[in-house]
Structure 1
Amino acid sequence: MPFSFNFGGFNPGDFSGFGGFQDEGAAPPPKKPRKPRKAIGNAFTRTLINLGVTLVFALVYFYVELPALNFHAEEFYVFAFLICAVYCICAVVTSGFQGEGIKGYVGFVKKQCVIPFLAFIALIAAIAIGAVTSWVVLRAGSYSELLSIETGDFASEVDEISYDQIPMLDEDSAARLGNRKLGELADMVSQFEILPSYTQINYQGRPVRVTSLAYGDIVKWFTNRSEGLPAYLVIDMVTQEAEVVRLKEGMKYTTAEHFGRNLYRHLRFHYPTYMFDEPVFEIDEEGTPYWICSRMVKTIGLFGGTDIRGAVLVNAVTGESEYYEEVPNWVDHVYDAQLIMEQYDYYGMYHNGFLNSLFGQRGVTLTTPLHNYIAIGDDVYMYTGVTSVTSDQSNIGFILSNQRTKETRFYSVAGATETSAQASAQSQVQQMRYTATEPLLLNIADQPTYFMALKGEDGLVKMYAMVNVQQYNIVETGSTVAECEANYRKTLADNGLVDEDDADVAPSDQAEVSGVIAEIRSAVLEGNSYYFLRLEDGETFYAVNAAENPLAVILNVGDEVSIQYHTGEGSSILSGTTVKKADGSGESAPLVVAPPDAAEPGNQAEQPVEDYTAEVPAE
């Protein structure tokens, strides 16, 4: 018999009344039967409730997340899965769950959620089939044909670019100038900030970066939204000048807006089935602000072969939008640089087959990590180097790709990578600890040349450097582009890469003006005597520093002169050109004059001036 104690009627072995403990010999209490949940209304009412809740969820999710209603968009399947799940959950709640365990759930779903369940299975099948048909292993040939590439000749096809087309600022330097400019405007700096994305475009024949303002915070959006964003910024990449362009009517459709005026939501409501790349801010030739919204398509299977098919142009002020399969010529950015590089990588990896990309790797190439932009004609071209997959120390060539049309050419130029060129340029000025911007590829005396700006610790451009692509030990620097090119051409001649005559060729931005001196004025600026010369039938005054150019004092009204000058550049008073009498007598001395777009004499102290060569005829 079991051993037990009995203290005054209390049996310690009997705990049935304390927390459910009981003697091991006692029988468990019977389970109470679960009370079935009561269904809501009849079947028709429950269906309406389920559909209504699901519809509300779908509308809220669509408004917030903005998925493209397109079978090629991955986010569409997430959206569809959530709709099916919400309907099934509603069906469980409204019908009351009947059944036991897993079998009960499965049976209930089959009974109450047949259509959502079948839709779920169909979506899973579509994803599986789409993934297989897009698999690069099976479609390597199609991936390699995404980008059409032509082979070009560098020396004959890439002209020596004028200095007023060379972008001398990178995006970081442009952002610094933009922030500094906005800080000067007391009526804007407290309410607005600048979007971090600066788009490089070709505006009225000049390379510039443009960006929009944004609201400082949600409170400032509430107080300023009725007028919209009042201005945008233009950064001239040659003169390094920042301009705030004020608008008569503010921009009301931007990425900084909220609710219906938000650009992403505005696009989705007007084009619910389109997939878009990241919108890009641009201005047309009249200065009207637009958002360029490239339309993305999948060309291989359901999910592979990302490409661009036209773009939607949205007026940032009015919100008017129009889709163009062939975009207007003023548009510069339709194809993103990363997309072009990705498509070239597909070509470089798979044009000889998928297996070759893994074994043997004959002719397998990849783009280098760095890229940059340059304006050629009316378009902006993306530049990046191409290297062998087995080596990252040298390039085998480079590509230039039109960002509006995706027209791409490959130039076979073996030499240093962009990173190696940056290191060579920085080593020339290592005592100053300058950093080099991402290189541009220029044609200097038919030699492929990396051009870089050298920035100080304050982020502003201090000097310029040119590095020969094929022999990157040939490096020259200068405080101006003209000085840098002159030094570089001389070094090319010293190394036998160009003739002496080519080394003395005038820079690509040089022009000439001749005429009779109609007026001479003088002034003392910062302790130096300057003579300002105006030619007949002209309004420009050319500034001559008498301290550096003693022969300039012999010039008289009526003298005929021929002046050669550099266009486009101008950051400081320079030396190095000469003036002499036409008969050759007298010693040569530097002559410095203002560029042809200089202001009136009273403004000369604030205007940049350049180097010129003037020949003074004998009297």
Structure 2
Amino acid sequence: MTEKLGFSKIARVLSIPILAFVMWYILLPPINLHSLEFWIYLIINLLYGIIILITFNKKHYRFFIIPGILIILLIILKLSSATIFHSKRYANLINKENSTFEEDIKEASFQQVPTVDRDTAQRLGSRKMGEMLDLVSQYNVSNAYTQINFEDKPVRVTPLEYNGFLKWIGNKNEGIPNYIIVDMIDGKVELKKLKNNIKYSKSDKFSRDIYRYLRLNYPMDMFSRINFEIDEEGTPYWVAPVYQNTIGWFGGLDVKEVILTNATNGETSKYDIQDVPKWVDRIFDADEIIGQLNWNGGLQSGFFNSLFAQKGVLQTTEGYNYLAIDDDVYLYTGMTSVGADESNVGFVLVNLRTKDTKFYKMSSAEEFSAMESAEGAVQEKGYTSTFPILLNIDNKPTYFMSLKDEAGLVKMYALVDAQNYQQVSIGTTVSNVVSSHIGKDLANIQTEEDEEPTEFLNINGKIISIESVVIDGNTHYYFILDNSNNIFIANIRVSERLPFIKADDEVSIEYYEKNNFNQVRKLKVE
């Protein structure tokens, strides 16, 4: 009997560290006092430990004061980090720089317009996987589909994952042999075969689970979402942003470092944000950026203004999308007033690698209004619109979206003028819809663009004569200078001053010779 009681006591005591380890191994909280998860983990273990002590002596109930104090302290620290006390600091977590749309966003080539959204990419990836009979019984396609830039074009990448625990048991020694790349422009799907298979992933178990693997190697770092990306050579990596609280004890969560993990061999490296390799596209999480933008738009004039007077309060629109600009991925979303209107006061682009944020102030249609306008243009077909992406079409901000049937297949494309959403163009191909929208035949434009000028010339002079001619709906100006026998041709897009130039005006121009014509590239009135 005494031996049984002794064993019972030992078992109860040992259950305390066993529970603590099992909870930590399963829940993976960071051992960090700035982590709310760690506080909850700590309080639960203290409560359990005290309950065990009470089984030895009921007087030990007095130790309940310890978790009680921690709970009160937790509430105080949480409240002290609230936006009501730090509205300005929350507003400044992200800083918007005013900029000009035409200067920052290059005019889109119809051959580089991304037509594949996330839903379509998933369908294409699943279809490709279904063709691989040797893989489909052992692996599934992950739903990651991270948008990145790879080889100067936007793509979505996603790894395969084990089809359950038993399939992991049977294949864990070989690892995951493939990942999928979906070209967002032409929809081409590639099942990439790896030289070295993926051994660390979200579908792996125990110490090869990527979250557990990183927690074991970085027990005190706070990280949550981990992205799948590939480097320039196509090597798969896991990108884990490391967070810190920048306001109070628990507030102002923001990225301070990044951990890169080679998915094939588990090698890890930690970088400061400014030192992260250029191929990494997704450091900042889109939903967290949206939250910071809303703080920035709502708390500039204080917490109570955001609730009551709401003077100058802005908020993001309900959706967002991504743009590929200069080998970086940018988050795009509109900014609107807190009133129930259907227009934007502007929009923002946020670099998801650096968090550089630019604000473009312009009155434009709210994205869902543009979607309804596009759907209304083909209402007899019952197509639904994807969330738009913002493009520079003919030097104007323009929403581009795909129109899908009930089966989720893309049937048509639409362009909607962001500043006049009644102006809608529909086409069965990207080339058709862009040609319709700008009133030009893109085939002819492309032929002209293929012949790149090799030399640019400069000349100053006084205009002797100038005439305008409309060609294919585009105004061109022909003029002669007093110090040259050449005839110069300038498209209306060269300068907004062209309609007002007259004889005897002094001009400075940059031009190139093309097809026996002198095409003006830049013009300045002296």
Whose radius of gyration is greater, 1 or 2? 1
Q: Find the residue that maps to 2:158 and give its secondary structure.
A: strand
Q: How does 1:199-278 map to 2 (within 5 A)?
A: 199-278=146-225
CA offsets, 1:438-488, max 9 Å, x none?
111111122111011222333232221110011110000112222211111
Aligned partner (choices 280, 289, 295) of residue 346 of structure 1: 295
Cα 1:436–1:65 shift into 2, 3 Å: same
Is 2:371 the partner of 1:422? yes
Q: How does 1:310-325 map to 2 (within 5 A)?
A: 310-325=257-272
Q: Provide the C-alpha distance between the structure 2 equivalents of 1:510 and 1:71, rounded to a whole number of angstroms.
A: 63
Letter of the 1:298 partner, please give it.
Answer: N
Is 2:326 the partner of 1:377? yes
What is the Cα deviation at residue 392 of structure 1? 3.7
What is the Cα deviation at residue 301 of structure 1? 1.2
Aligned partner (choices 5, 28, 32) of residue 66 of structure 1: 28
CA offsets, 1:552-574, max 9 Å, x none?
xxxxxxxxxxxxxxxxxxxxxxx
Q: Provide the C-alpha distance between the structure 2 equivalents of 1:422 and 1:407, rounded to a whole number of angstroms.
A: 28
Q: Provide the C-alpha distance between the structure 2 equivalents of 1:49 and 1:177, rounded to a whole number of angstroms.
A: 54
Aligned partner (choices 385, 388, 399) of residue 439 of structure 1: 388
What is the Cα deviation at residue 309 of structure 1? 1.3
What is the Cα deviation at residue 58 of structure 1? 0.9
Q: Find the residue that maps to 1:161 and give its secondary structure.
A: coil
CA offsets, 1:473-524, max 9 Å, x none?
000011222221111112xxxxxxxxxxx9999658974259xxxxxxxxxx
Q: How does 1:137-536 map to 2 (within 5 A)?
A: 137-326=84-273, 327-490=276-439, 511-512=449-450
Q: Compute the TM-score of the two structures, normalised by the length of structure 1.
A: 0.69
What is the Cα deviation at residue 324 of structure 1? 1.0
Q: Find the residue that maps to 2:29 and give its secondary structure.
A: coil
Aligned partner (choices 88, 106, 124) of residue 50 of structure 2: 88
Cα 1:426–1:475 shift into 2, 3 Å: same
Q: Provide the C-alpha distance between the structure 2 equivalents of 1:200 and 1:510, rounded to a whole number of angstroms.
A: 32
Q: Provide the C-alpha distance between the structure 2 equivalents of 1:503 and 1:278, rounded to a whole number of angstroms.
A: 45
Q: Provide the C-alpha distance between the structure 1 equivalents of 2:344 and 2:447, rounded to a whole number of angstroms.
A: 29
- Match of residue 56 from structure 1: 18
Letter of the 2:147 partner, please give it.
Answer: Q
Letter of the 1:265 partner, please give it.
Answer: R
Q: Which has the higher strand share?
A: 2
- Match of residue 580 from structure 1: none
Q: Provide the C-alpha distance between the structure 1 equivalents of 2:295 and 2:356, rounded to a whole number of angstroms.
A: 16
**How many equivalent pairs are there?**
451
Q: Provide the C-alpha distance between the structure 2 equivalents of 1:174 and 1:135, rounded to a whole number of angstroms.
A: 39
What is the Cα deviation at residue 118 of structure 1? 5.7
Q: Find the residue that maps to 2:362 and give its secondary structure.
A: coil
Runs of 4+ in structure 1 over 6 Å off? 37-41, 502-506
CA contact (8 A) 1:165 1:375 kept: no
Q: Provide the C-alpha distance between the structure 2 equivalents of 1:206 and 1:392, rounded to a whole number of angstroms.
A: 36
Q: Provide the C-alpha distance between the structure 2 equivalents of 1:294 and 1:509, rounded to a whole number of angstroms.
A: 45
Q: Provide the C-alpha distance between the structure 2 equivalents of 1:412 and 1:89, rounded to a whole number of angstroms.
A: 60
CA contact (8 A) 2:228 2:239 kept: yes
Q: Provide the C-alpha distance between the structure 2 equivalents of 1:429 and 1:331, rounded to a whole number of angstroms.
A: 40
CA contact (8 A) 1:227 1:249 kept: no
Q: Provide the C-alpha distance between the structure 2 equivalents of 1:509 and 1:433, rounded to a whole number of angstroms.
A: 36
Q: How does 1:7-22 map to 2 (within 5 A)?
A: none
CA contact (8 A) 2:223 2:243 kept: yes
Q: Provide the C-alpha distance between the structure 1 equivalents of 2:145 and 2:195, rounded to a whole number of angstroms.
A: 22
Q: Provide structure 2 residue ranges, at least 5 long, that are not aligned to the other structure.
A: 453-471, 473-514, 516-526
CA contact (8 A) 2:50 2:60 kept: no
Q: Provide the C-alpha distance between the structure 2 equivalents of 1:126 and 1:197, rounded to a whole number of angstroms.
A: 38
Q: Compute the TM-score of the two structures, normalised by the length of structure 2.
A: 0.81
Q: Provide the C-alpha distance between the structure 2 equivalents of 1:128 and 1:206, rounded to a whole number of angstroms.
A: 48
Q: Provide the C-alpha distance between the structure 2 equivalents of 1:85 and 1:129, rounded to a whole number of angstroms.
A: 20
Q: Provide the C-alpha distance between the structure 1 equivalents of 2:289 and 2:407, rounded to a whole number of angstroms.
A: 33
CA contact (8 A) 1:160 1:508 kept: no
Aligned partner (choices 26, 29, 37) of residue 75 of structure 1: 37
- Match of residue 132 from structure 1: 79
- Match of residue 518 from structure 1: none
CA contact (8 A) 2:389 2:400 kept: yes
CA contact (8 A) 1:166 1:375 kept: no
Q: Provide the C-alpha distance between the structure 2 equivalents of 1:292 and 1:232, rounded to a whole number of angstroms.
A: 16
Cα 1:305–1:509 shift into 2, 3 Å: farther
Q: Provide the C-alpha distance between the structure 2 equivalents of 1:504 and 1:89, rounded to a whole number of angstroms.
A: 76
- Match of residue 566 from structure 1: none
| Identity of matched residues, % | 41
Letter of the 1:55 partner, please give it.
Answer: P
Q: Provide the C-alpha distance between the structure 1 equivalents of 2:89 and 2:13, rounded to a whole number of angstroms.
A: 42
CA contact (8 A) 2:198 2:265 kept: yes
Q: Provide the C-alpha distance between the structure 1 equivalents of 2:360 and 2:441, rounded to a whole number of angstroms.
A: 24
CA contact (8 A) 2:332 2:349 kept: yes
Q: Provide the C-alpha distance between the structure 1 equivalents of 2:448 and 2:216, rounded to a whole number of angstroms.
A: 52
Q: Provide the C-alpha distance between the structure 2 equivalents of 1:474 and 1:401, rounded to a whole number of angstroms.
A: 27
Q: Which is further off, 200-209 or 324-333?
A: 324-333
Q: Provide structure 1 residue ranges, at least 5 long, that are not aligned to the other structure.
A: 1-36, 98-106, 491-501, 515-575, 577-614
CA contact (8 A) 2:431 2:442 kept: no
Q: Provide the C-alpha distance between the structure 2 equivalents of 1:416 and 1:293, rounded to a whole number of angstroms.
A: 36
Q: Provide the C-alpha distance between the structure 2 equivalents of 1:204 and 1:81, rounded to a whole number of angstroms.
A: 49
Q: Provide the C-alpha distance between the structure 1 equivalents of 2:446 and 2:76, rounded to a whole number of angstroms.
A: 57
Q: Provide the C-alpha distance between the structure 2 equivalents of 1:213 and 1:62, rounded to a whole number of angstroms.
A: 27
Q: Provide the C-alpha distance between the structure 1 equivalents of 2:16 and 2:430, rounded to a whole number of angstroms.
A: 64
Q: Provide the C-alpha distance between the structure 1 equivalents of 2:316 and 2:300, rounded to a whole number of angstroms.
A: 15
- Match of residue 70 from structure 2: 123
Q: Find the residue that maps to 1:88 and give its secondary structure.
A: helix
Q: Find the residue that maps to 1:432 and give its secondary structure.
A: coil
Aligned partner (choices 61, 64, 85) of residue 109 of structure 1: 61
